[in-house]
Amino acid sequence: MDFNNIRIRKAVSNDMIYVAAMIKELAAFENLPDAPQIDHKKLIEDGFESKKPAFKCFVAECLSTNTLVGHAIYFPIYSSWEGRSMFLEDLFVKREYRNHHIGSNLIKAIAKEAFNENCIRIDLHLLSSESPARGFYKKLNAVNLTKNGEGSDWNYVRFRKEAIAKLAE
């Protein structure tokens, strides 16, 4: 596999059939295979055909095989205490493409957008059982806001303004 031939780009509506499949892969990875109730048509409708898209998406594309190997779904949120923010709903890289900086490059693409839009933070939820993912986000300077990072099925994780600026470089 050619890991140097990966391009991060904004998703287009035609990508949603592959993103929907990756959402199902992510759910299976999280041991929740029946959880996704969405299909590519709904993703297209909500993200590309709406006057106010409900989400934005970056994809990782392997140029040598013309296939999508990862995605990041995110959307703007607002903090009444701090102002503009973003929420990372999904970050997924296909198993055979992991550990080659694709996930961090997807995060960096979101961080650049967040930085350019003067966002103060990027928030996400992470299953407690995903200890490798917690290490991944910590390495990128995200802070786990969940008490001691344990004791809940979900962890609340945040990239603060300084981490966003560093990732956006």
Which position has the higher pLDDT, 135 or 118?
A: 118
User: Residue 157 forms beta bridges with which residues?
Assistant: 124, 144
pLDDT at 150: 54
Per-residue model confidence as pLDDT tens digits over 75-117: 999 999 999 999 999 999 999 999 999 999 999 999 999 999 9
d(CA 150, CA 118): 31
Task: Give the mean model confidence (pLDDT) for residues 104-132.
Answer: 92
pLDDT tier for residue 127 given thresholds of 50, 70 and 90: confident
User: What domains lie within the chain, and their CATH numbers?
Assistant: 6-168 (3.40.630.30)
Per-residue model confidence as pLDDT tens digits over 12-37: 999 999 999 999 998 888 777 788 89
pLDDT at 17: 97
Catalytic residue numbers read 137
pLDDT tier for residue 71 given thresholds of 50, 70 and 90: very high
Rg (CA), the chain: 16
pLDDT at 134: 86
Per-residue model confidence as pLDDT tens digits over 135-162: 899 999 999 888 655 556 788 999 999 9
pLDDT at 12: 98
Structure tokens given for 122: 């990027």
* Cβ-contact 144, 156 below 8 angstroms: yes
- CA angle (79, 85, 90) in 5-degree steps: 120
SS3 13: helix
Side-chain-side CA neighbours of 116 within 13 Å: the count stands at 8
